[in-house]
A and B are shown apart, each in its own frame.
Chain A
Amino acid sequence: MNGYNFAYLDEQTKRMIRRALLKAVAIPGYQVPFGGREMPMPYGWGTGGVQVTASILGADDILKVIDQGADDTTNAVSIRHFFQRVAGVETTTSTATADVIQTRHRIPETPLRNGQILVFQVPIPEPLRFIEPSEQETRMMHALEEYGVMHVKLYEDIARYGHIATTYAYPVKVDGRYVMDPSPIPKFDNPKLDGNPALMLFGAGREKRLYAIPPYTRVESLDFEDHPFEVQTWEHTCALCGSDHSYLDEVITDDKGGRMFVCSDTDYCQTRRGEVA
């Protein structure tokens, strides 16, 4: 372990984060301030998620790290290597095998099971921030449950485009109380937040906030009666596995306009192809 405490953070820091996590699960959707530490990676690379993972990870846990659904992109590879080195934990790319999954901007397609923990990397934890820049004001709005302005923002989408044009970081209401930013996951993943059997923890390193959705918690995406919440759909199926129900990435294949649509969740796609073959 070359001179580091297990999982990099010192025990004092872990206890501080752990106490904050207990408050976060007790008040679903509420952003708990915590003493975020400098991590050996820049802000924006998942320092919040890494601190949460470091505080919960045990020697027996099997860790999976994904970035936009993929196990083999830079962010996922570097964070996975980080924990292999400082915690010596076993890692996997299989969603079903993992105990702890740290994710950047996706929820795996394979349904999560009870006992798993999904750790989200969050850039801007405050869903009202782009409407109200003052932290004091947004904190007051949460305290007063004053969320009308969020519906105004969605309404402005409808007035301008004829539909709600927000496609990622789509705001949700947790257990009927707190409006929460689910991190920049596509709104395609929002329905998976509702009643999920897994525990979901969110960490924002630069903004120093933690929040949580316990298992089996009611999570609604904000909408209007005449403009109900809808997820993205595709005319294509995955060019690799043929899936017609997963989130697809458009990939440019040449400089003549060639393109293909493939599953963003690499583990899901590979598993399906293994089954098909």
Chain B
Amino acid sequence: MERGMTVKPEMTTGLVWSALADPAHDSQRLFRQILAALSEPGTLHAIAVAEPPQARLGAALWGALLTLCDLETKIWIAADLDSPPLREALTFHTGARITNDPANADFALLTPESFDPDIPFALGSDSYPDRSTTLLVAVERLENIEGWRLSGPGIAESRMLDIGDGSRALMTRLAANRASFPCGLDAIFGCGGQLAAIPRSTRIDSTRIDGANAGEVN
């Protein structure tokens, strides 16, 4: 393994990674919440799933993984979320394959800190823009307050979303989706049990006037 895992096995071994209690109905309910999150970017959705032992991952993203992944999907995991128990639980519960090649991944698990614009995730092609990697991002905050202003499909006028500090590189990359549309990256955010999303169709502006986030990133 080239990438070092920063989550130590003893932090999660022996704890229970819960599956969905009622797979057909629970995954339907979770899917509708994820569908609502992507079709109305920036809206917050409370995901009722048992918290996974790996706290940083959060219940919302664990629920999304259980709902969307199966033996047909490949998942790339950033070093700061990677751990043998997570890999084991994902493989056991969903049958999904873990890949080290981001260009081949259907889903990528990461944090704003481990996001690097140079990671070659799949963006899709002009003919098949759907063949792209969907980012599942564990963020430290999800609130409809000043931070980033979202507009576009799914938003009547505009909607505010803050995903925490240290998210500038990630949000700048998502804002750049507009220039490469229809190719691009869709992002689903999880913060504990809260879930929100920004698809590639969303226009993103910074609302912060302080130094770090000044001006439009679009």
Report B84 CB to chain A, min CB distance, Å: 25
Q: Which of B17-65 contact A (CB under 8 A)?
A: 23-25, 27-29, 31-32, 34-36, 38-40
Interface contacts (Cβ under 8 Å), in number, total 113
**Contact present for A6 and B25 (CB under 8 Å):** yes
> How many residues of chain B are within 8 Å of chain A by beta carbon?
40
Q: Which of B79-127 contact A (CB under 8 A)?
A: 106, 125-127
**Contact present for B154 and A6 (CB under 8 Å):** no
**Contact present for B72 and A175 (CB under 8 Å):** no
Q: Does B201 contact A (CB under 8 A)?
A: yes
Interface segment, one of A13-21, A157-165, A226-234, A253-261: A13-21
Report B57 CB to chain A, min CB distance, Å: 20
A19 to B23, CA, bound (A): 16
* Contacting residue for B182 out of A15, A27, A140, A195, CB 8 A: A27
**Which A residues are CB-close (under 8 A) to B70?**
12, 15
Report B114 CB to chain A, min CB distance, Å: 22
**Which B residues are CB-close (under 8 A) to A59?**
25, 28
Q: Does A180 contact B (CB under 8 A)?
A: no
* Contacting residue for B27 out of A11, A139, A143, CB 8 A: A11
Q: Does A5 contact B (CB under 8 A)?
A: yes
**Contact present for B38 and A22 (CB under 8 Å):** yes
Main DSSP-derived SS at the A contact region: mixed
**Contact present for B153 and A216 (CB under 8 Å):** yes
A212 to B201, CA, bound (A): 12
A21 to B40, CA, bound (A): 14
Further 7 A-B residue pairs, CB within 8 A, beyond A26-B200, A177-B181: A16-B72, A18-B31, A27-B200, A59-B25, A143-B126, A199-B35, A214-B154
Pick the 7 closest A-B CB pairs, nearest first. A26-B199, A143-B126, A214-B154, A23-B130, A217-B153, A214-B39, A214-B153
**B contact set with A: CB distance below 8 Å:** 23-25, 27-29, 31-32, 34-36, 38-40, 67-70, 72-73, 106, 125-130, 132, 134, 152-156, 181-182, 186, 199-201
**A contact set with B: CB distance below 8 Å:** 5-6, 11-12, 14-16, 18-28, 30, 32-33, 55-59, 139-140, 142-144, 175, 177-178, 195, 197, 199, 212-218
